[in-house]
Amino acid sequence: MSKETKYTEDNIRSLDWKEHIRMRPGMYIGKLGDGSSADDGIYILLKEVLDNSIDEYVMGAGKTIEISIQGDKVIVRDYGRGIPLGKVVDVVSKMNTGGKYDSRAFKKSVGLNGVGTKAVNALSTYFRVESTRDGKSASAEFEKGNLTNQDTLGETSRRRGTKVSFVPDDTIFKHFKYRTEYVAKMLKNYVYLNPGLTIIFNGEKYFSENGLKDLLSDNINEDDRLYPIIHLLGEDIEIAITHSKTQYSEEYHSFVNGQHTTQGGTHQAAFREAVVKTIREFYGKNYEASDIRKSIVSAISIKVMEPVFESQTKTKLGSTEMGGKLPTVRTFINDFVKTKLDNFLHKNSDVAESIQRKILQAERERKDLSGIRKLARERAKKASLHNKKLRDCRVHLTDSKKDRNLESTLFITEGDSASGSITKSRDVNTQAVFSLRGKPLNSYNMSKKIVYENEEFNLLQAALNIEESLEDLRYNNIVIATDADVDGMHIRLLLITFFLQFFPEVIKEGHLYILQTPLFRVRNKKETIYCYSEQERRDAINKLSGKPEITRFKGLGEISPDEFVHFIGEDIRLDPVMLDKDKSIEELLSFYMGKNTPSRQEFIIENLKVELDAVEE
C-alpha cells in the first residue's frame, strides 16, 4: 500500500500579488512568446501601460503620448493628470487599487481596475513610475515587483503627467525582441480610435483625423475598394464599411473602449447580423447572409460602461449590456446600423447599386460552386477520418462560441520524415500538424473554385475552418515548416501565394509564420548548441573548447524527434509573414508568382544566402 501524503497547515501557503503574477503570468497577459507574434506578452505589457495614458486622453487630459523602445527598455510618457502623488507606489504594487473603481474618474475606460500595470511591474526586472502634478513629483522604482527606491515629493517645473519605464524579465520572456511593425500597428489603432490624439514613437508621429475611415484606408488599397468607404458616427459607436473587389472572405476590425477585440465578441456578432438585416430590408430581398457579407471589409468601435471581456487580455467582448439605461449591445448596434446605413444607401444610389451587383455576383458564384463545395466538404470529412494529413491537437476553436486558444498552432510541413518528427515531438494539446504531399499548386490568378477542386487546398481550408470568415479560425498560429533549401523556399512561396490569393486577412491579422530550424548542431561531451546561422556556428565553436563535433542539418527530416522538441517548444523561433504596406496584394502576388523576373531570383538567392554559404563551407 502506498504511503499517504501528509496534508497539514504546512502545505498551505499564500502568495503575495507579485509572486502570483510571476508564477501564473498567462492569467494576466496571455501567452508569453518572444515578440514574433502580435499577441505575445511583451506587447501586452506595453499595451497595459498605454491603456492608462489613453484613458487620460479620453477623460480630456493630455493630447500627446511619447513612447521610446530602445533595445529591451520601454518608456511611456503622457501629459495627463498624473497619478495622485501619495498613491504612486500603491497604484502599481497593490492589487484592487486604482482610479477605475471610481466611475466618476474613469467612465468608459480601456484598462480594468489597474491590474495591468501591476502585472508589468511584477514581470519586469526594472520598473520605474514617476508622476508630476501641481508642480510636484514623486517616483518609485521596482525590481520584479519589489520596491527598491522611492523618491519623496519634490518641487519641479516639468509638465504634469505620468512616465513609466520598464524592462521585461528575460527569464520569463526568453530571447524577446520588440518588432517595430507590431508596435506601429498597435499605435495606429490607438490614434484611429482617438482622433486628435498624437502618439510619437521613437520620433515618428502617429495621428488620425478620420478615425475608422483612416483605418480602412490604410488596410485596403484604393484600387481594390468596390466603392468609397462608408463612415458612420454616433454617440458611443463608429462604423466604417466597404467591399473588396478581389478578397473572398469577410474582414472585421472591432474595438471596445479602445481595446482591439481581435477575437470579436457580442458587438462584432451584432454588427454582422445588423448589416445583413439592413441590406435585406433596403433591397426588399431575402439575400443569403454569406452573399451580403462576402468580401466585406469593415470596422466597428463601441463604448460600453464596465465592459466584461472573456479574458484578462481583453481580446473578446462578453458583455450583452451597454450599461446604464441604454439597450443591449445587440439592440443598440442593430438600431444604429438600420438607421444610419439605410439613410446612407438612400442618399447614395451609386453605392447601393455597387453593393447589390456584388451581392448578385456572390450569389451566382455560390450557386455555381454549390455542387463542388458539397463534394469538397464530403471529401474533407472523409479524409479527416481515414488518413493522417491532419494530426489535430486537443485545444482549438471548435465553434464560434468558444475562444481560440492563443497557443493553438498548426504546422504545415512537407514530407513524411519531417511530418513524423514534428508529430512525435509536438505538444498534443496545442500543436497540430498538416502534411503536404509534394509541392502545392501555384494558385496565382486562379479563382476560388480551385480551392475546392484541389485536394490539398480543400483539406487545408477545412482544417483551418476559414471558408467564409476568419472569425472561426481554428488555430491562432499557422506555421509553414519547410526545409531551408531552394525547394523549401519554393513551397513557402506557394503557400504564401495561396493565403494572399484567397485568405489575405490571415496574413493581415498576423496568423502566418515561417518556422526557423537550426542549420547546425555543435557539441562536445558537456554541451550541445544549436545554431541558426553561420555566425552562430562560429560563436559556438569559439565557446566550446577543443574540437567540437559539427553536424549540418540538410532538412527537417534529419532532425530526430528528441531534438525537434527543442525547436517547437519554449524556444521556438518564428518569423512572421507580413504585408508590405507600400504594395498591394496584386503587386505582391505578381512579384512572387508572376513570370520569372531577375528581381524575384535575386530575392530567393538573398533569402537563401546563409544556407548556401553554409553548404559551401
The tens digit of pLDDT for each residue in 154-165 reads 788 888 999 999
Q: How far is CA 190 from the centre of its chain?
A: 15
pLDDT exceeds cutoff 80 at 295: yes
Q: Would you state the pLDDT for residue 204?
A: 94
Q: Would you state the pLDDT for residue 284?
A: 95
Look up residue 587 and give its three cell numbers.
503587386
**Per-residue pLDDT reduced to its tens digit, 30-57:** 788 888 888 889 999 999 999 889 888 8
Q: Would you state the pLDDT for residue 595?
A: 60
Query: Is 614 in contact with 519 (CB distance < 8 Å)?
Result: yes
| Of 119-123, 382-386, 512-516, minimum mean pLDDT range | 382-386
Mean pLDDT, residues 533-541: 88
Q: Would you state the pLDDT for residue 403?
A: 52
Q: Would you state the pLDDT for residue 334?
A: 93
**Per-residue pLDDT reduced to its tens digit, 569-592:** 877 888 888 876 656 666 666 666
Query: Is 471 in contact with 268 (CB distance < 8 Å)?
Result: yes
Is 387-517+553-616 in CATH node 3.40.50.1980?
no
Mean pLDDT, residues 234-241: 93
Q: Would you state the pLDDT for residue 337?
A: 95
Q: Would you state the pLDDT for residue 291?
A: 93
- Strands 251-256 and 296-302, bridge-based pairing: parallel
Q: Nearest 5°: CA angle at 351, between 345 and 357? A: 110
Average pLDDT taken over every residue of the chain: 82
**Per-residue pLDDT reduced to its tens digit, 396-420:** 544 334 455 777 899 999 877 778 8
Mean pLDDT, residues 69-73: 94
Look up residue 603 and give its three cell numbers.
530575392
pLDDT exceeds cutoff 80 at 371: no
Mean pLDDT, residues 147-159: 84
Q: What are the φ/ψ torsions at residue 462 (nearest 5 degrees)?
A: -65, -40
Annotated domain spans of the chain: 17-206, 212-366, 387-517+553-616
Q: Would you state the pLDDT for residue 12?
A: 46
**Per-residue pLDDT reduced to its tens digit, 585-615:** 666 666 666 665 566 566 655 554 444 343 3
Give me the helices (H) in 144-265, please: 180-193, 212-219
Mean pLDDT, residues 139-149: 92
Say if residue 87 is exposed, middle or buried (CB neighbours under 10 Å; 0-12, 13-18, 19+).
middle
pLDDT exceeds cutoff 90 at 305: no
Topology of domain 17-206, per CATH? Answer: Heat Shock Protein 90 (3.30.565)
Q: Would you state the pLDDT for residue 397?
A: 46
**Per-residue pLDDT reduced to its tens digit, 158-199:** 889 999 999 999 999 988 999 999 999 999 999 999 999 999
Q: Would you state the pLDDT for residue 1?
A: 45
Residue written as grid cell 494572399: 500
Could you tell me which residue, 357 or 260, shows the higher pLDDT?
357
Phi-psi region of 236 (alpha: psi -120 to 50; beta: other; left: phi over 0): left
Topology of domain 212-366, per CATH? Answer: Ribosomal Protein S5; domain 2 (3.30.230)
Mean pLDDT, residues 534-544: 89
Kindly give, in sequence order, each residue whose CB lies less than 8 Å from that of residue 68, ignoring residues fewer than 6 positions away: 74, 75, 201, 202
Mean pLDDT, residues 489-511: 87
* pLDDT tier at 388, thresholds 50, 70, 90: low
Q: Would you state the pLDDT for residue 453?
A: 85
Q: Would you state the pLDDT for residue 297?
A: 92
**Per-residue pLDDT reduced to its tens digit, 438-491:** 888 888 878 888 888 888 888 888 888 887 777 778 898 999 998 877 788 888
**Per-residue pLDDT reduced to its tens digit, 336-349:** 999 999 999 999 99
Query: Is 37 in contact with 30 (CB distance < 8 Å)?
Result: no
Q: What is the pTM of this model?
A: 0.80
pLDDT exceeds cutoff 60 at 554: yes
Query: Is 556 in contact with 481 (CB distance < 8 Å)?
Result: yes
One-letter amino acid for residue 34 of the chain? D
Nearest residue to 92 via CA among 143, 29, 25: 143
Strand partners, 514: 480, 575
Could you tell me which residue, 559 or 5, shows the higher pLDDT?
559
Residues in the chain: 617
One-letter amino acid for residue 130 of the chain? E
Q: Would you state the pLDDT for residue 198?
A: 96
pLDDT exceeds cutoff 60 at 103: no
Q: Would you state the pLDDT for residue 373?
A: 75
The 10 Å Cβ neighbour count of residue 237 is: 20
The span from the CA of 20 to the CA of 27, in Å, is 10
Mean pLDDT, residues 24-33: 81
Tell me if domain 17-206 and domain 212-366 are identical in fold. Answer: no
Look up residue 341 and give its three cell numbers.
446605413
Q: Can you tell me whether residue 445 is helix, strand or coil?
A: coil
